[in-house]
Amino acid sequence: MCIRVCLLALLLALVGCAGTPVRGTGDLGVVIERDIGRVQVVDTSTRKSLATISGLGDLSHASVVFSRDGRNAYVFGRDGGLTKVDLLKRAIDTRILQAGNSIGGAISQDGRYVAAQNYTPGGVKVFDAGTLKLVLDIPASYGDGQLSKVVGLVDAPGNKFVFSLFDAGEIWVADVSDPLAPVIQKFSAGKQPYDGLITPDGRYYIAGLFGEDGLALLDLWHPEQGVRRILGGYGRGEEKLPVYKMPHLRGWAVAGTRAYLPAIGRHEVLVVDTQNWQEVNRIPVAGQPVFAIARPDGRQVWVNFALPDNGQVQVVDTESQSIVRTLQPGRAVLHMEFTPRGEAAWVSSRDDNRVTVYDTQTLEAVAELPASAPSGIFFTYRASRIGF
């Protein structure tokens, strides 16, 4: 009798496993389909789409962070929506509307808190990562009770969030280790910080300045030293140049001991020595750069562009500091993402409704995935990296 019961239990277990295969999340990711409020769950090993999930609202400027176990994606929508997506169940877990206009977010070092940066109302809201219940509201107040748009929000060691106030010209560091008693430090940054990056080691926060030449650097190991100006006079003020799309700064632009930063309005990528934060080179490129993203091993940097040059991607060899290939993935390239170890790069082409996968050694296309006006591409390995 006991043998029959054991065999029956084993059979039921095997049937259950056959119906629900067990898998990890390390090779999963999401592709934003911005025009229809939907995301695709994708597998970077098989280069296939596994599922589509609808009902995520306005994704016209969407970004994503991941829980530390890589199971959940937190999608920040332009309409203030914050959606927790379960990548294994391939379904929405929780969705809230937390603001009127939001452009991104971050997750804390210990994975307990998710923070959203907001334009309207200006400020940062911090939520419990499990339930999405609000645990802290940080209004970006300045001047005579005004609220600033918040940009450049990143996570930092010590369960801190660092962000910039576009209208106030400030950088704030918020320690949320105890959200009931947050500690906030405020620093003068410069005119109109438009985005920010934190270096992969979590030490330096850099805010790009739209209103003046140069960038603002804050050493998070020594915040008492205040903000230091770097790359002053790199060319923003030489002439009034039209800016067709604001470039993005993130830690993904750091390769080895150099950072590759898109120059505002100029057809150049600035190369900066991260040991002394001095400019060491400028690389002429095909247009106004939007993203400069380093391959995980630091050997290549891939660059895409604003209109009218946004149908191409240029690949920089970091050893020779030169362009080695110009790719034509499709119309309106909005984003690029490397697989965890960098053997492939996924590139979204919004106006051609596809994602193209490139082999980063041969620089040849090896796969295409249909997608409706794709924009951001985000893979779960970001969960283990600072500032992603």
Structure confidence by residue, pLDDT tens digits, 211-263: 888 899 999 999 999 999 998 877 655 555 666 666 777 767 899 899 999 98
Q: Which residues face 74 on adjacent strands?
A: 65, 84
pLDDT tens sequence across 152-209: 999 999 999 999 999 999 999 999 999 999 999 999 999 999 999 999 999 999 999 9
pLDDT at 270: 93
Instruction: Return the amino acid letter for 73.
Output: A
Give CA–CA dist 28/17, Å, rounded.
20
pLDDT tens sequence across 264-283: 889 999 999 999 999 999 99
Q: Going by CATH, does the domain composed of 98-243 fall within 1.10.1060.10?
A: no
pTM of the model: 0.92
Please give the mean pLDDT across all residues of the chain: 92
Give CA–CA dist 94/83, Å, rounded.
6
Confidence band, pLDDT 50/70/90 cuts, at residue 31: very high
Strand order in the sheet with 101-107: 101-107, 113-120, 123-128, 134-139
pLDDT at 16: 46
Task: Let me know: does 375 contact 354? Beta carbons within 8 Å.
Answer: no
pLDDT tens sequence across 86-102: 999 999 999 999 999 99
Confidence band, pLDDT 50/70/90 cuts, at residue 4: low
Instruction: Return the amino acid letter for 101.
Output: N
Q: In this model, does residue 136 exceed pLDDT 80?
A: yes
Quick one: DSSP state of residue 263? P
Confidence band, pLDDT 50/70/90 cuts, at residue 14: very low
Higher pLDDT pick, 105 / 3: 105
- Contacts of the segment 209-218: beta carbons below 8 A, 24+ positions apart: 209/236, 210/166, 210/243, 210/246, 210/264, 211/169, 212/236, 212/237, 213/237, 214/190, 215/261, 216/171, 216/189, 216/190, 217/277, 218/162, 218/171, 218/173, 218/187
Domain boundaries, the chain: 98-243
Give the phi and the psi of residue 259 in degrees, each rounded to 5. Answer: -110, 140
